[in-house]
A and B are shown apart, each in its own frame.
Chain A
Amino acid sequence: DAKTTQPPSMDCAEGRAANLPCNHSTISGNEYVYWYRQIHSQGPQYIIHGLKNNETNEMASLIITEDRKSSTLILPHATLRDTAVYYCIVRVGPGSGGYQKVTFGTGTKLQVIP
């Protein structure tokens, strides 16, 4: 699996956009970028994923660079409830068969400040 690198922590003012970066320079052509988050004492929660195009859903936007070596998760209007650890991982995509070994790193601890 490709490894990812994320900053250990970030702060963001409530109501502002939170931009969380992730480096994945060894990503393979068939690997997707996935983002999860984990609010304290809960299980990780799926946020969004993408292959090479930018993606948006009701929770966030995902911007992937053209060379696919890095990406940014954007929470457009951060709220206090977005305070969590955010994990960026790379793995084969939803259409693939077989086992998907998934390794989570230590993530980015996002603190949303009132």
Chain B
Amino acid sequence: DAGITQSPRHKVTETGTPVTLRCHQTENHRYMYWYRQDPGHGLRLIHYSYGVKDTDKGEVSDGYSVSRSKTEDFLLTLESATSSQTSVYFCAIREQGEQFFGPGTRLTVL
């Protein structure tokens, strides 16, 4: 599993509240990614990071921000959660060209 954990694994929150999801890896991988997965859309890239303090937007970045202050942690923040952000969120790392995914976080925004 490439040493990837995500927290929390499940969260229910209300519209307008801030939410932060954490991705933690133990193997010093440089590249980290955040995806969301929704029925009919497959996996869509939100943001990615190519090093500490180096991040960039993916294809569905609106409403999300990220931070990477240390190699092992990549945080995804929803500043003001909306119902359209109800989804399953996957973190991934890149190792020797392949991507390995975390177990996912199921977020429900009421």
Verify that A and B bind, or say they do not.
yes
Interfacial residues of chain A within 70-93, with CB under 8 A of chain B in the complex: 87, 93
Interface size class of B (residues with CB under 8 A): 20 to 34
Known: A94-B96, A94-B98, A105-B42. A99 touches B31 (CB 8 A): yes
Q: Which residue of A lies closest to B90 (CB)?
A: A43
Looking at A10-18, A21-29, A44-52, A59-67, the stretch in contact with chain B turns out to be: A44-52
Dominant secondary structure of chain B at its interface with chain A = strand
Q: Which residues from B are CB-within-8-Å of A46?
A: 98-100
Inter-subunit contact B99/A102 (CB<8 Å):
yes
Q: Which residues from A are CB-within-8-Å of B59?
A: 101, 103
CA distance A43 to B59 in the complex (A): 19
Looking at B11-19, B61-69, B75-83, B101-109, the stretch in contact with chain A turns out to be: B101-109
B74 in the interface, Cβ–Cβ < 8 Å? no
B70 in the interface, Cβ–Cβ < 8 Å? no
CA distance A98 to B90 in the complex (A): 21
Query: Residues of A within 8 Å of B, CB-based: how many?
Result: 24
Q: Which residue of A lies closest to B44 (CB)?
A: A103
The answer, among B45, B90, B104, for a CB contact under 8 Å with A103, is: B45
Q: Which residues from A are CB-within-8-Å of B33?
A: 102
Interface centre among B35, B42, B90, B96 (most CB of A within 10 A): B42
Q: Which residues from B are CB-within-8-Å of A104?
A: 35, 42-44
Question: Smallest CB–CB gap between B53 and chain A, Å?
Answer: 15
CA distance A100 to B98 in the complex (A): 10
Q: Which residue of B lies closest to A104 (CB)?
A: B43
Sample of 14 further A-B pairs with CB below 8 A, known A43-B104, A44-B43:
A44-B92, A44-B99, A46-B98, A46-B100, A87-B43, A94-B96, A94-B98, A95-B97, A98-B50, A99-B48, A101-B59, A102-B99, A104-B35, A106-B41
Q: Give the A-binding residues of B (Cβ under 8 A).
A: 31, 33, 35, 40-45, 48, 50, 56, 58-59, 90, 92, 94, 96-104
Listed A/B pairs (13) with beta-carbon separation below 8 Å? A41-B104, A44-B90, A44-B92, A44-B99, A46-B99, A49-B97, A94-B97, A100-B94, A102-B33, A102-B99, A103-B45, A106-B41, A106-B42
